[in-house]
Amino acid sequence: ITEISEGLFSGCHNLASVNIPLSVTKISNRAFYLCDGLKDIYYKGSKSDWAKIDIGKDNPKLNGRLGRAKIHFNSN
């Protein structure tokens, strides 16, 4: 998987955590829109790898909790 498409998890209010593989290079707008319960993101790469992901930034609210969740990095 290289992209988390627009609206993929939109409205998943009970989604508390998500695992994102290192292969992801894009997280589209609204992929996590209205995911109010999202608290933890487990990312298989490093912080610098995360910074390279194209995250839909047209409007920060469009990815809701993605920007407020705790990201757990793991480069192993």
Render pLDDT for 20-30 as a digit per residue (tens, 0 to 9): 999 999 999 88
Taking all residues of the chain, what is their mean pLDDT, rounded to a whole number? 88
d(CA 76, CA 66): 22
d(CA 24, CA 4): 7
Q: What is the dihedral of CA 34, 37, 41, 47, to 10 degrees?
A: 70
pTM of the predicted protein model: 0.86
Q: Which of 63, 74, 72, 69 is nearest to 5 (CA)?
A: 63
**pLDDT of the residue at 67:** 78
